[in-house]
Amino acid sequence: MNFEQARFNMIEQQIRPWNVLNDDVLRLLSLVKREDFVPLAHKALAFADMEIPLGHEQSMLAPRVEARLLQDAAVQKHEKVLEIGTGSGYMTALLAHRAQRVISLEIDPEMVKLARANLQSAGIHNAEVRQLDGSNAKVAEGPFDVIMLGGSVAEVPQSLRAQLKVGGRLLAVVGDEPTMCATLINRNSETDFTTQQLWDTVTPRLLNFTETSQFNF
């Protein structure tokens, strides 16, 4: 398989048409080897427009969704990032290239080992993967400039909002199937947050986050 041609096709045929037009993001997608973060059994699907199973009830997001999230997070070189849901470490690597430091929380111990090995192989030294439940963890290094959730939640818990710096932003896919939306939350002051819905998508759930009630009273 010609990985470089497949990577080029992924960017030009999937990612650009999905309004990912930031040159720095597109260059980074060319630089970070997505195939190195995909399980061997699925390596031929590394650039397909689909979620790729990682095992342990987890999957990599489709490339265009990852790219759009990365673009909308607009991480800067001086910023400290908290990622919830490491998976295989691909988004962690992308964020690390743009940030000063990334702390990524992963609930599954096997995924933690995999992500750490992948990041080490990719030469990423400013990202740390911790085995923690991101749905309720309070990270001592906070508050953070950027928080990114690597899967969907019914709602963003207050405990995560509280770990944003004033002026910081949180990006997550929020909602219930079939209606989910990439959502940007900005912290304007200690008590004031603004929420902006960006674009529709559907992604797998992050584990242990509170679900909305399905009952109508």
Asked if residue 213 has pLDDT above 80, the reply is no
| Structural domains in the chain plus CATH codes | 3-200 (3.40.50.150)
SS (H, E, C) 46-91: CCCCCCEEEECCEEECCHHHHHHHHHHHCCCCCCEEEEECCCCCHH
Place of tokens 């400290």: 80
Q: What is the mean pLDDT of residues 145-170?
A: 96
Q: What is the pLDDT of residue 60?
A: 95
For the stretch 52-77, pLDDT in tens is 999 878 899 999 999 999 999 999 99
> pLDDT class for 216, splitting at 50, 70, 90?
very low
For the stretch 10-23, pLDDT in tens is 999 999 999 999 99
CA dist., res. 35 & res. 190, Å (int)? 41
For the stretch 107-141, pLDDT in tens is 999 999 999 999 999 999 999 999 999 999 899 99
39-45: long-range pairs with CB below 8 Å, 24+: 39/88, 43/1, 44/1
SS (H, E, C) the chain: CCHHHHHHHHHHHHHHHHCCCCHHHHHHHHHCCHHHHCCHHHHHHCCCCCCEEEECCEEECCHHHHHHHHHHHCCCCCCEEEEECCCCCHHHHHHHHHCCEEEEEECCHHHHHHHHHHHHHCCCCCEEEEECCCCCCCCCCCCEEEEEEEEEECCCCHHHHCCEEEEEEEEEEEEECCEEEEEEEEECCCCCEEEEEEEECCCCECCCCCCCCCCCC
Q: Is the Cβ–Cβ distance between 23 and 11 less than 8 Å?
A: no
